[in-house]
């Protein structure tokens, strides 16, 4: 449990950095990890370097000199992740603040989307906060893998999704949450 909490804290620090900074750098992210989580400087630098390089390899970030910036795919994935998972309002607000800087018209939709999210969570019965034992980085990876595939609700056969044997065992629970978040889960 402590391992997942630590991974989640690192991931949420990355998420905040992606949402707040125009340009992302390894050294800035490492400094945040060092300050917020008391990671050793070398550990923080290695972790941030690996994370940013992995996200760039997946097309979420693009390298611009010594820094990184969100790609359109990255923006879409961040919105999907923040919108479709029961995150706190803090990350939702951060997303819209950042988006509004780049696209001023986005601020007009913020409250509408917030109301629709609340209605959705009430109707679906999904919690408005994620369970603390869920690995957020793994869940983000799941969103990434599914962003290039048809919707999970399209892969249902007779109301039952086919099990992907290549995924770790804990992934079924995360898939279930994702299906609920996308409206594809069956009642019962």
pLDDT, tens digit, 9 for 90 and up, residues 24-44: 999 999 999 999 888 899 999
CA–CA gap between residue 167 and residue 188 (Å, rounded): 24
Number of domains in the chain: 1
Tens of pLDDT, residue by residue over 81-91, are 887 776 667 88
Cβ neighbors of 127 (< 8 A, separation 6 or more) are 86, 121
User: Does residue 145 sit within a domain?
Assistant: yes
User: Does residue 171 sit within a domain?
Assistant: yes
User: Does residue 76 sit within a domain?
Assistant: no
* Distances 62 to 27, 157, 186 between C-alpha atoms, Å: 16, 37, 38
CA–CA gap between residue 78 and residue 133 (Å, rounded): 21
User: Does residue 27 sit within a domain?
Assistant: no
User: Does residue 73 sit within a domain?
Assistant: no
Residue 168: give the domain boundaries: 137-181
User: Does residue 177 sit within a domain?
Assistant: yes
> Is residue 1 predicted with pLDDT exceeding 80?
no
pLDDT confidence of residue 155: 39
User: Does residue 79 sit within a domain?
Assistant: no
Q: Which of 57-61, 94-98, 123-127 has the lowest mean pLDDT?
A: 123-127
User: Does residue 161 sit within a domain?
Assistant: yes
């Amino acid at each position: 449990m402590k391992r997942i909490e630590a991974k989640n804290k690192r991931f949420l620090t990355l998420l905040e950095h992606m949402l707040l900074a125009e340009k992302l750098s390894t050294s800035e992210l490492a400094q945040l990890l060092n300050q917020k989580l008391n990671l050793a400087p070398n550990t923080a630098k290695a972790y941030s370097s690996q994370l940013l390089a992995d996200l760039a390899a997946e097309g979420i970030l693009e390298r611009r000199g010594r820094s990184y910036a969100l790609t359109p795919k990255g923006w879409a994935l961040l919105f999907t992740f923040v919108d479709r998972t029961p995150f706190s309002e803090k990350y939702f607000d951060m997303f819209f603040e950042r988006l509004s800087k780049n696209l001023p018209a986005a601020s007009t939709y913020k409250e509408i989307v917030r109301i629709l999210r609340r209605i959705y969570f009430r109707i679906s019965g999904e919690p408005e906060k994620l369970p603390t034992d869920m690995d957020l980085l793994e869940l983000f990876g799941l969103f990434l893998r599914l962003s290039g595939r048809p919707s999970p609700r399209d892969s249902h056969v007779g109301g039952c999704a086919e099990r992907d044997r290549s995924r770790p065992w804990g992934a079924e629970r995360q898939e279930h949450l994702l299906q609920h978040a996308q409206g594809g889960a069956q009642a019962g």
